[in-house]
Structure 1
Amino acid sequence: MKKLLLVTAIAVAALMMFYGGVSALVNQGHGLGKALLTFTAVIAGGVGLVWMVKSGR
């Protein structure tokens, strides 16, 4: 039960961060498609940096 609650909380937090980031970009004047693309590129870059640091390259 605790594991399910933790997974649910993480999913809700990730969804709120996604919505907040994309809505901030849209409010700055980007179109929805461009905002989604920018958000995806930033997340992919962050994941890539973490992966490179963890692998010891």
Structure 2
Amino acid sequence: MTWACRTPGINALTAETGVDNAASQRVLVRNGFVQIGERLDDEDGALICWRRKTD
């Protein structure tokens, strides 16, 4: 994550977690990610979408 935040041209990082994966969600929140939506994946089911700006 440090490398990506320091690389010119990378403005944001994205991640997805399963709706029941509270541990991964806590890790993302602690690292500055915010929930930006949800989507349904054919293979993985319901997912929460996350984003963190790099600036």
TM-score, length basis structure 2 = 0.24
Higher relative contact order (CA 8 A, sep 6+): 2
Which of the pair is proportionally richer in strand?
2
TM-score, length basis structure 1 = 0.24
Bigger Rg over Cα? 1
Which of the pair is proportionally richer in helix?
1
